[in-house]
Amino acid sequence: MAQNVLRIDASARRDGSISRRLVDRILDRFAPASVTRRDLADPLPLIDETWIGANFTPADQRTDEQRAALALSDELIAEIEAVDTLVIGLPIYNFGVPATFKAWIDLVARAGVTFRYTEAGPEGLLKDKRAIVAVASGGTEVGSDIDFATGYVRHMLAFIGITDVTFVSADRLMIDAEATLKDAEAQVDSLAA
């Protein structure tokens, strides 16, 4: 049975992006699949006071303006709800995630919708999903003390309920791009579809 996959590209580069190239290779392993695409090179708006006010207003009391303020957030959450697997292309910019990816996180992490608070702590509500994150970096080694991207991504995905997370790493490309890419492609080839 074909899987439903959400492809999220966070690279600002549409051409020559290593994270996009790795995502293409990952999706080849899922073929045939139904793929929804979300390209963050088309930037998302940042949350603002209007959005926050709408988000903290009970759904049955929201004005038309507040519903409109949350419409994109609702759409992004629906994209996640509709799939089995998220495949995320994530470059590391300045040791962290691109601002556009952080904007995506801010729009999908919503109390009472994608997570809730319990006496035992927060509980993610988007369960039974898998995420594969293709990471590319010029000099930041994934998992090192200066990698502020992968731990954040793992934490935020778990926060909304996605705990089955695999990273494919093409890190330190500026040091040995050929060996790094070969290793990353081998990581993709070993993934279970």
Other CB atoms within a 10 A radius of the CB of residue 73 amount to: 23
Cis peptide before 58, with omega less than 30 degrees from 0? no
Query: What does the block give as tokens for 114?
Result: 């994608």
| Binding site feature residues for FMN | 11, 17-19
Burial class from Cβ neighbours inside 10 Å (0-12, 13-18, 19+) for residue 2 reads exposed
DSSP state of 61: G
Task: List, in order, residues 6 or more apart from 188 with CB less than 8 Å away.
Answer: 22, 25, 26, 29, 134, 168
Sequence ranges of the binding site: 11, 17-19
The DSSP bridge partners found for residue 3 are 33
- Identify the CA nearest to 2 among candidates 83, 67, 69, 77: 83
